[in-house]
Amino acid sequence: MVKAAILEGVEKLSVTDYPVPEVEANGILLRMELCGVCGTDMHMYGGKMALPFPVIPGHEFVGIVEEIGEKAKGYEARGQPLGVGDRVAVVPGTNRFCGDCYGCRFMPHKPTLCTNRKVLGVNMTSAEAPHLLGGWTEKVYVDAEHFWVYKVPDEVPPEVAVLSEPMAVSSRAFERAVAPGLPTYGEGFRVGGSVVVQGAGAIGLLAVATAELAGAGTIINVDMVDERLRMAERLGAEHVIDMRQHRSAEERVAEVNRLTGGLGADVVIECVGVPAAVPEGIDMTRRGGKFVEVGHYTNPGTVPINPHTICFKDMDILGSWAYPPTQFATCLDLMKLSIDRLPLHEIVTHRFKVGDAQKAMDNVLARCGIKSAIQG
Ligand SMILES: [Zn+2]
Ligand SMILES: [Zn+2]
């Protein structure tokens, strides 16, 4: 039997046993090593999403191939052979889009716009075999034909590879600010440019790391928790703005201006998810710069914005919704590159056994540490 944490309803998390599933030709059975707990899991738990209960939460998992079907051996995303004992990271969103919605028909280059997307650990029920369709379990079943599976480079340990999914969110948001083919015209990000990241949760910290690895000059992080601010510095933030010292939005904007030669930042990435951070971030962006919104995955309400600022600054405001499945390649390559440079392995601060999923959830709800993870 396999132990799994299941969400049976709103705020109803329990632990159950499922039989070991039969592995089909397209299938992979993973021994789950680590699975991150993220804001989405919190929203699922809190009843903010319509879900096909019961669901095994957890969409940020890394594991070791324990059993693999003949066809699945040829399905590694970058064409590497796959076999028993390999460590893999799995893109939780399916690569099979419905093909019928507006996004699929008219914007196939933006696969996350499909309105009928299936995501492991989010909206796939564990009611029927193979049951193990989420990360908070000792073993995960993956249909490798319908989900992209990446072999993790040997250099990257599980406590770093487990960040593939949140880093895909962060790095894709960052890449929204890269104007293809136009770096010398000062449109958005350029090598040596200035980047403000608002917020130092896992997404904010991984945005800082991405900016650092992409060759940013000045990186400024804004947060109010010591542990997170110190980590932001170690991941590449040259300056941090502590909200307990710079208490008003005006003071923080003035501080960004001071640190960027009076211009404002080339790029601002909003990773807080609080509406008030948005006009503040727009004010931190220089004229001709880019502001990227990735923090508001759910809907906490509205905020007044001065449209004159947007017009006067001739700036771009961009949204980032998830990431294409190719983004995991970017992340795994960046991780391999940064393994001796950046302390990515310290972002997971708390680990819990599958049977202690409730404790993990409580820890995240209490906002303890930086990132909590379930251990297989
Ligand atoms: Zn997540
Ligand atoms: Zn679709």
The string of pLDDT tens digits covering residues 236-257 is 999 999 999 999 999 999 999 9
> Which one of the ligands is nearest to 36 CA?
1
Ligand at minimal distance from the CA of 41 is: 1
Output the CA 121–ligand 1 centroid distance in Å.
10
pLDDT higher than 90, residue 272? yes
How far apart are the CA of 308 and the centre of ligand 1, in A? Answer: 35
**Cβ < 5 A residues, ion ligand 2:** 97-98, 101, 104, 114, 116
Assign domain 167-319 to its CATH superfamily: NAD(P)-binding Rossmann-like Domain (3.40.50.720)
**Chosen CATH of 2-163+347-375 out of 3.90.180.10, 3.30.1330.20, 3.40.50.1820, 3.10.290.10:** 3.90.180.10
Q: What's the gap in Å between 102 CA and the centre of ligand 1?
A: 25
Residue in the structure block whose two tokens are 């940064």: 338
Q: Which ligand is nearest to the CA of 297?
A: 1
Average pLDDT of span 344-365:
97
* pLDDT tens-digit readout, 87-121: 999 999 998 888 999 999 999 888 888 989 999 99
Nearest listed ligand to the Cα of residue 166: 1
Q: Where are the domains of the chain?
A: 2-163+347-375, 167-319
